[in-house]
Amino acid sequence: AAAAGKRGLRVVLVDPEPDKPWPNNYGVWLDEFDELGLSHTMRKVWKSARVVFEAPDCTDGEGRPDAVLRRPYGQVDRIKLKAELIAQCKEYGVACVAAKADAVDHDSYSPNVSALKISGTAAENLPYDAIYARSVLDATGHSRRLVEFDQEFTPGYQAAYGILAKVKSHPFPLDEMLFMDWSDTHLDNSPQWKEINRRIPTFLYVMPFDEQTIFLEETSLVARPALDFDDLKEKLDIRLAHLGVEVLDVEEVEYCLIPMGGVMPTLPQRTLGLGGTAGMVHPSTGFMVSKTIKSAATLADSLAVSLKRDSPAAQDEMSTSVWNSIWTPADIRQRSFMCFGMETLMQLDVRGIREFFSTFFELQDKYWAGFLSWRLPPFALIQLGLSLFKGFTNTMRLEFVSSALPFMPSFIVNFANGGNTFKSEPWMGAGADHVLEGKSSSKRREALNRNGYVDGVGPIPSCVPVSTTTAAAATTTSDAIDIEAGPSFSGMREDWDWVRFQQSKALPTQAPLADQLPEPKSTSSDVIVVGCGPAGLALAAAMGRQGLSVTVVGPDAPFTNNYGVWYDEFEELGLAHTLEHVYDRARIWIDDNDDAAGRVLDRTYAQVDRKALREELIAQCLSSGNVSYVNALVDTIKPETSDESGMETGRSVVIMDDVPAGGNDDDEATSSTPAKPEPCVANVICMATGHNRELLKYEEGPPPGWQTAYGIEIRLKDHPFPKTDVVFMDFRQSDPEPSDGDMGALPTAWRVPSFLYTLPKLSDPDVVFVEETCLVARVQVPFDELRRRLLRRLTRMGIDVNSVEVLEEEASWIPLGGTLPKVPQRYLAYGAAAGFVHPASGYSITHSLSRADSVAAAVARGLRDTGAGDMRERSQLAVTEGWEELWGYEKRRQMGFYQFGMELIMSLRLPQLRNFFDTFFRLDRESWVGFLSHRLSGVGLLMFAFQTFLIADLDLRVRLVSHLASQSGAGQRLFEAYAKPLTDMLSGTEAADESHSSRPAMISPPSQVSASIDEDDDGIIVRKEPPQPSASSVFSNEQNAQALDGLPPGFQAADWWRVGVRDAPAAYGSPEAGGYWWSDGSVMRSPINGQQLPNSAAAEPTDMPGSYGFDPLGVGNDTDLQTLRQSELLHGRWAMLAVLGVILPETGSLLSGADTTQFHWWAPYGYDMADKQLLYMGAPLPLGLPLVALLHFPLMGAAELLRAGKLKVPAGLRELDPVYPGGIFDPLGLAPAAGDDLPRLKEIEVNTARVAMIAFYTFVWEAILFHKGPIEIFVR
């Protein structure tokens, strides 16, 4: 306040008790207060400070001498310091209000003004309950009252118990304070306390004022959780008794608890911060006061400059400028380093702490003093760290590395990018224990399983299998099914019938859309949204709010699906009022060994009220005043052309059919069908058609996975499911895996896992929705098979499925993953049609609702860009802007990662899937919540994968790594998603090079869409002639292919990724002329160009350089020879370089007479562990090993994938040989110069490469057997 007033700002200071004395004792380094001009506020100054590591009478120590710090240290006189600052406030006109700050409102009053809400006795006597200001600053310390945090605050805690006492005498010199005393001989007679102190050490802190007045404090430097004050008091009493200090009188008692480290506030934000609330406590020491007072001047300078600007945008600029002034990237890096140090210190025992501080205070003064005073720039911090490591003993190095390693990923990420996300948890939180409720011993669990009841949860399913086969009546038909019998395709109801049943449900409580939204006043509008589900209505409302006229086209149907959502997501969208049931707890059971109460997920879950959500979205459409509705099916979409010129106008025509009776999309209209609706015209067409793919073009690639679920809402008195909690996943009572031989000729097949999901009706304890869910499968698990599993599960739980009352039946069908829409194309997509479904979970509704405004804004921006040209160009720009908003690089990275996760889940059997989810829900909350809610960035997802890998067991780790390289191509597609910016950059001229259309040029798209809208596309889409097979035909064909393979429904085999992708399933395993097949009968194709490979028996590869027909093992008969040749050449070229790298240094050392052993290629000096420096022939290389690896992986990875044809090859490079020089990869012109000699040079190269590989192999064995290099052996 004083600093701001000094700079001419009008300041109001708000504090509930401004006259209350400050309770804390502050110790500071004198030079810091000298710089601040506050040295006159010191109570006493000591010329030096001492650090004691071991007592003189210590018998089990290492004889460490004390460290004497030649840096004056002092205690601040709290009364003088406060009086000084109050005097400055008075001098500069600072006003003061004795009130409590309750909240700050930045939005309601004015864009430039914030309102601080106040309360309290004094405030009640004021004529106002708020103070208005251009800026509000929170200096409320560790209460963090106003400043916002977007991450969980997980600090360590410094706890201390101290007394200012009169003593009979003491052994401490008066000219020196005791900064730290880590000795523990006073605990020799208290083994329990000594063991506690060994693990969580504390130290003595002493300020002697005179022979009898002294401040004594027992301090825990940092711990999580904080040490108890009573324990610290007892340890201090034991220590004083050991020192012979007799306390005569206690003048003051201090209880000090300081949160240290943890995350900083959200940066930037409108509310400013200073001191503890702004993260200014030194994370490794607890010092704060000097840093805070120094930062106050910096903050006031920036604030004074920023407040001169007066505009709504200036407020955000002001807060950003001020936060950046007190938290520069260098300051944030410094804090991350300190947090890293804090976390490491918490892992050390007393011996480690002693060696750490002994080494720390042996460093140059500039290092240890600078670290304690926030004065070291990032490079100096690195030097400090390296110097510390170099000074440690080998034992300490090992202990330090093991202690620091869990926090290294978070530190590296934040130190490298100056980020504010340092995780105060091992492995960035991945090591956090899972939160369990009702945890009980195995004996108690057995008892609970016997009586089937858990307090607060209700009855639990029996763990005893049902021994008899039970025939249960179907819930909606009169046919009976054998719930214990193995599944069979024969006699099953078609899955498409189930899907149509779900889509055509009649829910009379949901009023027809045509009765609520108006008909269009004109056949022309800005936007036509095709589809009136949640995504379509949300987008229409958002477009309407942008001032665009919108026509919604689609069948007038209710919302039929039951949506389960996370409460916080709907609350953020302002849709919490549309939730029917809110469940405080979600429970999961991974297997039968879980506690009877299950595992509790720390996240509130909810069930959407379908009627309320639909009414809310309709109300939003109505409130915009721009949305109309046509009850029709889209038949054809085509570009509008000018009657005069025949040129496209940039608008599109939508030709519609009336909805047939019964809502059957595929039935032809009869003679009694009403006349077709009049065609509509719009600048932009957006498809929100759900999983229907008939009106859009999609990229080529693997088919989707399939999530299917069969559920029933039942009324059953005293049902055994939790009455108030959702069962999110219950893998108990699952069908057993088939035994060896049960699958006949398919020993590698397994049952696709499924789990139980329940939603109780809170208003009626006898009603519950139960659902059998297959999370994802390569081939759709039929609904009849899921129904069989559900009824079998209920029967095993003791429920008579013939007696339950079924209120509603649901068949949920969700294609997951698969290819995205082609980007860009003429017509936009939204919701599930645009690929919004989470591939690894099936969630989509929240994602669809949350992105409507941003997509609508992008479209509106393009349509209103008057600088883009005529309406045709603006329409194209609007579509391109919309596609970039939908699928920019970041969104593609996210989707690539989620699809990788989906395919991993598809490859797991039930025990492995249980292991996966056990690992997943042991991640820190932010990670698993972020993964399920589309909140993790592309980089965040990589860190998520890293955390998962770290806490996973060996089996899951192996599966994760093997999945990256599996034949399913999941790893390749993941890399393509992350490398897309690079590949697009390399192919940046492709569109221009290949353009040959005579039509006017399209508007160039923004940078994150890889090509222009295809000008060869005539823009005509016919629903009954879709650009690619419909989703229903895809899953039907896949189920047919599975039946031909002999797999029963609900099962899949080890080569699950091949199902449904063969060119001719009927010819499975049969030879084709001149072709080569995998052992399962699928055609083998070259990874270079995708062409079918020649059968080795039909074409002898005699034209390859270095091919002499020598193949005694027959490798060429069963393997892709082109791939082998590439591998041979690449390995050989590396080997030739390696041989030179081995021979030349050793030869040079012999010629110079140096010691040859120093230049052996395996010599340890190649990497200096102390300095973390790469060396070559004893000389340091400019780049460190981490940076070399960081640069090497993406560059080499991208080059290799391009060479192998795994990524899209840029134009101009497609004709180049992937392994021999040519084009831009031949800067020396070797290939043209070689001319006719090129074949001979290729043969020389491959033969030399073979010799080099053999040579290096020999070098390795020479080093192992003789410890000598090749030249040394040759010469000596």
**Structure-block tokens of residue 1173:** 């420096």
Angle at the Cα of 776 (from 775 to 781), degrees rounded to 5? 95
| 191-228 residue pLDDT tens | 888 888 998 999 999 999 999 999 999 999 998 888 88
Q: Which of 185-189, 283-287, 1197-1201, 1268-1272 is predicted most confidently?
A: 185-189
How many Å apart are CA 698 and CA 832, to the nearest integer?
13
List all residues 6 or more positions away from 931 whose beta carbon is below 8 Å from its beta carbon: 840, 901, 920, 941, 944
Q: What is the pLDDT of residue 29?
A: 94
State the pTM of this model. Answer: 0.52
Give the largest Cα separation in the chain, rounded: 112
Write 976-981 long-range contacts (CB < 8 A, 24+): 976/896, 976/1201, 976/1206, 976/1207, 977/892, 977/893, 977/895, 977/896, 977/897, 978/893, 978/896, 978/938, 979/1194, 979/1197, 979/1198, 979/1201, 979/1207, 980/889, 980/892, 980/893, 980/1010, 981/889, 981/1008
What is the distance of C-alpha 113 from the center of its chain?
36
| 770-827 residue pLDDT tens | 999 999 988 888 888 899 889 888 888 888 877 788 898 999 888 888 888 888 888 9
Q: Indicate the DSSP class of residue 868.
A: G
Assess contact for 428 and 943: CB atoms under 8 A.
yes
Q: What mean pLDDT comes out for the span 485-499?
A: 65
Res. 483 pLDDT band, cuts 50 70 90: low
Assign 687 to helix, strand or coil: strand
Assess contact for 654 and 681: CB atoms under 8 A.
yes
Using alpha carbons, select from 455, 378, 440, 364 the residue that is nearest to residue 414: 378
Q: Give percent helix, percent strand, percent coil of the chain, each to the nearest 5.
A: 40, 20, 40
**Structure-block tokens of residue 968:** 């399913």
Res. 440 pLDDT band, cuts 50 70 90: very low
Using alpha carbons, select from 303, 228, 320, 308 the residue that is nearest to residue 267: 320
Angle at the Cα of 1127 (from 1125 to 1131), degrees rounded to 5? 120
How many Å apart are CA 228 and CA 519, to the nearest integer?
70
Q: Indicate the DSSP class of residue 1181.
A: P
| 563-616 residue pLDDT tens | 999 999 999 999 999 999 999 999 999 987 888 889 999 899 999 999 999 999
Single-letter code of the amino acid located at 1237: D
* Alpha-carbon separation of residue 1099 from 1069, 1076, 1091, 1114 (angstroms): 21, 11, 15, 14
Edge to edge, the sheet with strand 130-133 lists: 100-110, 113-119, 130-133
Q: What is the mean pLDDT of the chain?
A: 79
Sort 1 into a burial class: Cβ within 10 Å, 0-12 / 13-18 / 19+.
Answer: buried
Q: What is the pLDDT of residue 989?
A: 36
Among 39-53, 933-947, 984-998, which stretch is predicted with the lowest mean pLDDT? 984-998
Assess contact for 360 and 336: CB atoms under 8 A.
no
| 740-768 residue pLDDT tens | 444 444 446 788 999 999 999 999 999 99
Q: Cα torsion for 623, 627, 632, 636, to the nearest 10°?
A: -150
| 813-860 residue pLDDT tens | 888 888 888 888 889 999 999 989 988 888 889 999 999 999 999 999
β-pairing verdict for 680-687 and 828-829: parallel
Angle at the Cα of 248 (from 245 to 250), degrees rounded to 5? 100
Q: Is the peptide bond before 508 cis (omega within 30 degrees of 0)?
A: no
Using alpha carbons, select from 1236, 1205, 1240 the residue that is nearest to residue 1219: 1205
Assess contact for 130 and 106: CB atoms under 8 A.
no
Among 39-43, 331-335, 394-398, 482-486, which stretch is predicted with the lowest mean pLDDT? 482-486
**Structure-block tokens of residue 1214:** 């497609």
Where would I find the H helices in 952-1052?
A: 954-964, 970-986, 990-994, 1031-1044
H or E element, residue 601: strand 599-601
What is the end-to-end Cα distance of the chain in Å, rounded?
A: 80
How many Å apart are CA 283 and CA 422, to the nearest integer?
12
Using alpha carbons, select from 41, 108, 110, 566 the residue that is nearest to residue 289: 41
Angle at the Cα of 1001 (from 996 to 1003), degrees rounded to 5? 135
- pLDDT of residue 672 exceeding 60, the answer is no
**421 φ, ψ to 5°?**
-130, 30
